[in-house]
Structure 1
């Protein structure tokens, strides 16, 4: 699984740079042309390789010799596996450019075949029973396919070896299982190198041992489930920086070039990682790999790669640091289960970088300018779905498409946040990656949808059908007229692509008064040419639509229209939504202030209040159960969970 992050002109470098670059995007990831050509035929096959479905890969130990000055790998990988059915042979993904010399099994040699499909098939002397933990060792050597999965180069004249395996490169340098249905529970690196080099890798550094002949054995171990494409090493004359971060603290470990250590800007940005970690722990929950570490290992490529616990970086911009750190929750702890759902990795990480912009890097004005640039990027074409259809999986650049996978994927999350409110949304994100069936596992969009329903009581199926599986975006015309203390809106919508007939959405409206007053309304837009009547207590000077870029739209307009008639308003049904609800309720069909009460199912009064149009009713302090909401002699039953 190979992914190469291309730093495009206009990559995020500073908050000043953000505001000066209207077409800037959070991060530009793609694949260089030769890699796309090399792996095009593998994309559909390796979502799930059917030959590896008959076992679970429990553990791997890599014992290899590597020298950054020599393009070569030799050694062995021991794999512990558990068949889920009786099994007479086993397959591993492995490039046929690497020569397997021996397969050892309980002290004997097994017969094997290296296949042109980049697999090794190994036959057992007798069938292994289902659910029997077993192991074997593959000895191999050779020069891996040239590219990013395994690469040597120079930094300041010193040899460096590094790996970057997304999406399908792990098999280029070690035998493993790349199907996106089975993470390894544990992985050990035992890497022998010339003693002048330091080895960085996933997990926790267990030991470094000097060997005869000016050699060194470095032992890293990760005990968290890990996808094959997130296994990585980097080797050169690194300077090792050992620090702590978080509360309570855990290791913050960086392996950097000597030239980076001498650069105060890079060092300041590395230190800034602590700030963004604190922010992400606040909004996303505790860092998922606290028992090991977080850190960076520098590598030869421009950009970065979210290798679990040890991000590989080629530069030190804050946007890059934030994006890759967000991946530790979204992409590493929970990992997209197919490349169709790559937005679950990249859209979420892009949203994380946006969060860092909002909370740490930008003023309010700068952030609004940045979000407008994101909208302009997403709407620069009228088609394309964030979900990657099977027919497009052969195009690697389509999978890692900045406009659709990264930017629109992040905006989908921004709109969910707008619909739910910040408190409910961020709790739902924490719930998503913490659920026992999802944590440290592969996930699909359907899993995220179910998790949202469990957390919020709201079904986002229709939303995902429009925004994720559908293509394009809406444009709105909002007409308004003030009559006394009321303001009438009429909203129409057109769609940029025929795959979506109508985008149902809560519309953000800001009303500005002639004396500087403001009022905010949320219009539940469910049909074209829909009317809304709201109360406003001051003379209206202007109306703003999508005033904080809460939703994705393009070329929308707002017009004052004195021909609108209040008699045209369709009376909406009186209702509370969402129902069931966790923290907030919206009241539909009530356009004026009114006293309300909430009673428990046994008739006990638990709340009195005054409803204000356009504002939510907070219920977070209520004990889960059934309640009766009463306003203007109308009663509605709702469930608090």
Structure 2
């Protein structure tokens, strides 16, 4: 993520647990799954007792009435014996729930959907949950970024946000520690685009409605899902043998700075691939929206979304494109196990901006480092910055300083070997700061913890 005018961006953490008391079934073999993954940065988000493998989403949205109807099929594996379990779902009405084809009891507890299957689910059991739901989606208050999640617009909708957004339009285990694959089918009135993540799987029209189909076959954190509906100029092509889909809101100039910047998506991705290793997904793209409520850009997997503020000065801002595309490696392919380690996303994406800026004829990386070094507030940590500082300079800029400090300490050859090896080893998974430090030490063959401590969390300015 990157802020538009007047801001920056975030994270902390989660341990999947199973809570609740024994139901007495089968001698205590089944228990209630936790309704909170335990991440203090996002209290109430995420759930325990299962891992989601796949979401199959079929939604229909009518902009005239701002009403969404949906059918979600969630395939998961129980990590403990479950008598009941939770899904995150904010504000929508649930009509029916089935578990493995059988009707299941369900109730709402705030923004939680609590499901009690007809029979307990043993640990290790793969099961399927079908949820029929609908209503008028509402975003969640998020403070720093404004409301996150599903926003109705004049011509459609935008579902977007960090750290939470998915639960406003489909039932989910809404925490990045539980990644899954997705098939997304969206039906909208003819003439409107319905854009989402992954590989385009075609469109079909019937009775005044058009269905758009998308498939993301690589594991994706729930906050990285997006749904953008409305009047958009959609460009479809290929790059490096993979689909490249970009879209620019009709309210933005057809040949303006947003369209010009997004047209360089493949070029920027290739530049980053030379440094980070192969592009990790099966599709490329980007979406430029016109809604002023979106004051940031977000690394929604395979298809980042850019708010209009990044192009307001008439400049084709490719630095934000570099930032969000870098997240496809740092944040999307290798995701956070806990939000307190968000610098692993934002520090590396900010550093990628520095790399691209130098490559594109701007300031050198050394100049960017020197400028940020002099103005950084070293009393604010990059790791575990606290919820209020999730989207602060310490996460982005101090994080990038730490990345360059590592490069200077180990040299270019070892530095880029660390990055490429880390991304290859952790691809499609999650990680923590401790994981990265241990990996860097292993590749460099020397202790690096004191360096990271000084540059990421030390209260005083480190020596250059």
Structures share fold, TM-score greater than 0.5? yes
C-alpha separation between the residues in 1 aligned to 2:104 and 2:327? 40
Label 1:412 to 1:197 Cα distance change in 2 as closer, same or farther (>3 A). Answer: same
- Check the 8 A contact 1:417/1:425 in 2, yes or no: yes
Match of 2:138 among 129, 134, 145: 145
1:223 is matched with which residue?
Answer: 217
2:191 is matched with which residue?
Answer: 196
- Check the 8 A contact 1:178/1:229 in 2, yes or no: yes
**What is the aligned-residue RMSD (CA, Å)?**
2.4
- Check the 8 A contact 1:71/1:151 in 2, yes or no: no
C-alpha separation between the residues in 2 aligned to 1:361 and 1:302? 27
Match of 1:415 among 381, 405, 419: 405
* Greater strand fraction, Structure 1 or Structure 2: 1
1:127 is matched with which residue?
Answer: 120
1:275 is matched with which residue?
Answer: 267
- Check the 8 A contact 2:38/2:44 in 1, yes or no: no
SS at match of 2:419: helix
- Check the 8 A contact 1:49/1:178 in 2, yes or no: no
Alignment of 1:278-297 (within 5 A): 278-289=270-281, 292-297=282-287
1:425 has 2:415 as partner: yes
The one-character-per-residue Cα deviations of 1:480-524 (angstroms, maximum 9, x if unpaired) are: xxxxxxxxxxxxxxxxxxxxxxxxxxxxxxxxxxxxxxxxxxxxx
1:170 has 2:170 as partner: no
Alignment of 1:603-614 (within 5 A): none
Alignment of 1:350-429 (within 5 A): 350-362=350-362, 364=364, 369-378=367-376, 381-388=377-384, 392-393=386-387, 395=388, 398-401=389-392, 403-429=393-419
C-alpha separation between the residues in 2 aligned to 1:259 and 1:141? 29
1:84 has 2:79 as partner: yes
- Check the 8 A contact 1:49/1:179 in 2, yes or no: no
SS at match of 2:55: strand
C-alpha separation between the residues in 2 aligned to 1:160 and 1:376? 45
SS at match of 2:372: helix
Alignment of 1:208-287 (within 5 A): 208-212=203-207, 214-246=208-240, 249-260=241-252, 262-287=254-279
1:314 has 2:294 as partner: no
1:206 has 2:186 as partner: no
- Check the 8 A contact 1:69/1:152 in 2, yes or no: no
C-alpha separation between the residues in 2 aligned to 1:251 and 1:75? 27
SS at match of 1:225: strand
Give structure 1 stretches of 5+ with no counterpart. 10-26, 32-40, 476-550, 552-641
How far 1:174 moved relative to its partner? 1.4
The one-character-per-residue Cα deviations of 1:293-328 (angstroms, maximum 9, x if unpaired) are: 110122222431100001111245112111101100
C-alpha separation between the residues in 2 aligned to 1:464 and 1:382? 13
How far 1:355 moved relative to its partner? 0.6
Label 1:368 to 1:448 Cα distance change in 2 as closer, same or farther (>3 A). Answer: closer
SS at match of 1:467: helix
- Check the 8 A contact 2:70/2:170 in 1, yes or no: no
Label 1:458 to 1:71 Cα distance change in 2 as closer, same or farther (>3 A). Answer: farther
C-alpha separation between the residues in 2 aligned to 1:46 and 1:177? 16
- Check the 8 A contact 1:104/1:137 in 2, yes or no: yes
1:468 has 2:456 as partner: yes
- Check the 8 A contact 2:401/2:455 in 1, yes or no: no
How far 1:342 moved relative to its partner? 0.4
The one-character-per-residue Cα deviations of 1:69-128 (angstroms, maximum 9, x if unpaired) are: 443322221111111222111211111x21112112344321112102x21111111112
Give structure 2 stretches of 5+ with no counterpart. 12-35, 140-146, 312-316
C-alpha separation between the residues in 2 aligned to 1:382 and 1:219? 47
1:57 is matched with which residue?
Answer: 52
How far 1:262 moved relative to its partner? 2.1
- Check the 8 A contact 1:303/1:320 in 2, yes or no: no
Label 1:354 to 1:60 Cα distance change in 2 as closer, same or farther (>3 A). Answer: same
Using the size of structure 1 for normalisation, the TM-score is 0.62
Using the size of structure 2 for normalisation, the TM-score is 0.85
How far 1:277 moved relative to its partner? 1.7
1:483 is matched with which residue?
Answer: none
C-alpha separation between the residues in 2 aligned to 1:93 and 1:293? 28
The count of aligned residue pairs is: 423
- Check the 8 A contact 1:103/1:112 in 2, yes or no: yes
